[in-house]
Amino acid sequence: MDNSLTYDIPPIWKNLDVPTHVSADERILACARLIKNTDKGVREKMRMHIEDMLLRMEKYDASDIDMGGKGCDGHMWYRVHGDKKPDKAKRYTLDETNVHIVNLLTESQINHLVSNHSLDLSYSIDRGDGVDRRYRATIYKEMDHLAMNMRKINAEIRPFKGFGFHPEVAKALSLNYLKYGLTLVTGITGSGKSSTLDTIIDANNRTCDAHIVIISSPVELVHKPKRCLVRHREVGRDVASFRAGAVQSLRQDPDIIMIGELRDEETIKTALEITDSGHKTFSTLHTASATESIDRIIGEVNVNQQERVRNRLADVLTCVISQKLLPSTDGKRVLAKEVLLANTSVKAAIRNNNLSEIYQMLNEGSALGMQTLEQDLKRLFDARKITLENAISYANNKTRMRELLNLD
């Protein structure tokens, strides 16, 4: 990787009047004072430098960029097809990256960062070609300095047909066929949950006459109204929390409510309540499988309320899509997914706390479009899209994976 783009930027970070060993908060506030007194032209050059680093992600086919803090060792780091790689052509000092990062923030964002130790925000670049480049950013403290990750948000939405969903699953995801119910898209960070949700929202936007409310932290892809009225509400910017946004949305005449993430007990209970009131709800969880997702929702609430939540979840759950992105044989990445449709048998298993039965239902539910992650990994291996090693490595149930591959 080369980093030849440079600007004639005065090294204003050398004027930081702080001792070497001060707290991150003191350093952030010192950077803010320095930026406030810096010429607007210099600040714009600094911003353009960072934006050019972001735009170069397209050249590298990178999904993320990291900068700042001692962990980066003075370099920009890019994630390319799942692997982190440093750009060693240029080194930044710690205070240089501190000032560059603070220069991107508003006064209210700086105050939030100081108070909460981290800040999530969306960032967009308008280069005049009619296409905004959008990024999801997280800024946080590391050893008394600032670090930042920015993830590129794909402007193009993957076609719904590209996911290969069974017709029964497609019906469950569409407002035209099912007016209510909770659908979860789950997976670890970086598994493409947001992209999958965006595709589902876009499919409804193209085919339904409805009102969609999206509550995100931060707002990533901005959906343009097609057949739907689409509202975007960013946590911390337009609404105080996921829970507050979900509750407020009930007074906004919605048909579909998308809650970016079920992070805590209150948000989980709120999601179940709004779905129970007759709305179609979508959300995400950081879980690796359908059964783990159900277990996580029930386990997040107080013990004396778990029975009630279990019954309510059994009533409203429609579909769980658990996915992973893994290296493909062409050097890129490919999506593997587990799909659970909450039919009568699945709902009974949830209600009776027999979650161990659900894996077998997934195994035997192909007529309804259900599949285990292991079955999808075998499909990808048979199609020579992934290696044998990765099929086993990424499986949730490695014993079952070996059985499917006839390795025992």
Check whether residue 252 and residue 304 sit in a common domain: yes
pLDDT of residue 155: 75
Residue 140 near residue 290 (C-beta atoms within 8 A): no
pLDDT of residue 128: 67
In a domain, 331, yes or no: yes
Residue that is last in its domain, among 112, 128, 153: 153
pTM listed for this prediction:
0.81
pLDDT of residue 134: 87
Check whether residue 336 and residue 357 sit in a common domain: yes
Check whether residue 180 and residue 125 sit in a common domain: no
Check whether residue 138 and residue 171 sit in a common domain: no
Check whether residue 178 and residue 308 sit in a common domain: yes
Residue 76 near residue 133 (C-beta atoms within 8 A): no
Check whether residue 74 and residue 191 sit in a common domain: no
What CATH number should be reported for the domain holding residue 78?
3.30.450.90
Residue pLDDT tens, the chain, 408 long: 554 555 688 899 998 888 878 889 999 999 999 999 999 999 999 999 999 999 888 888 899 999 999 999 999 999 998 889 998 888 999 999 999 999 999 999 999 999 999 999 889 888 666 667 889 899 999 999 999 999 988 778 899 999 999 999 999 999 999 999 999 999 998 898 999 999 999 999 999 999 999 999 888 888 999 999 999 999 888 998 999 999 999 999 999 999 999 989 999 999 999 999 999 999 999 999 999 999 999 999 999 999 999 999 999 999 999 999 999 999 889 999 999 999 999 999 999 999 999 999 999 999 999 999 999 999 999 999 999 999 999 999 999 999 999 986
pLDDT of residue 1: 52
pLDDT of residue 252: 93
In a domain, 4, yes or no: no
Do β-strands 229-234 and 211-216 pair in parallel, antiparallel, or remain unpaired? parallel
pLDDT of residue 354: 93
Q: 291 lies in which domain range? A: 160-371
Check whether residue 224 and residue 267 sit in a common domain: yes
In a domain, 76, yes or no: yes
In a domain, 390, yes or no: no
pLDDT of residue 132: 77
Check whether residue 146 and residue 206 sit in a common domain: no
In a domain, 255, yes or no: yes
Q: What is the DSSP letter of 161?
A: G
Q: From its phi and psi, is residue 183 left (phi > 0), alpha (psi between -120 and 50) or beta? A: beta
Residue that is last in its domain, among 109, 136, 153: 153
In a domain, 18, yes or no: yes
In a domain, 252, yes or no: yes
In a domain, 407, yes or no: no
| The one-letter amino acid at 48 | M
Residue whose entry in the numeric block shows the structure tokens 């911390």: 236
How many domains would you assign to the chain?
2
pLDDT of residue 220: 84
Give the distance from CA 79 to its chain's centroid.
Answer: 15
Residue 93 near residue 82 (C-beta atoms within 8 A): no
Residue 347 near residue 211 (C-beta atoms within 8 A): no
Check whether residue 78 and residue 45 sit in a common domain: yes
Q: Which residues pair with 256 in a beta bridge?
A: 212, 280
Q: Residue 230 in 3-state DSSP?
A: strand
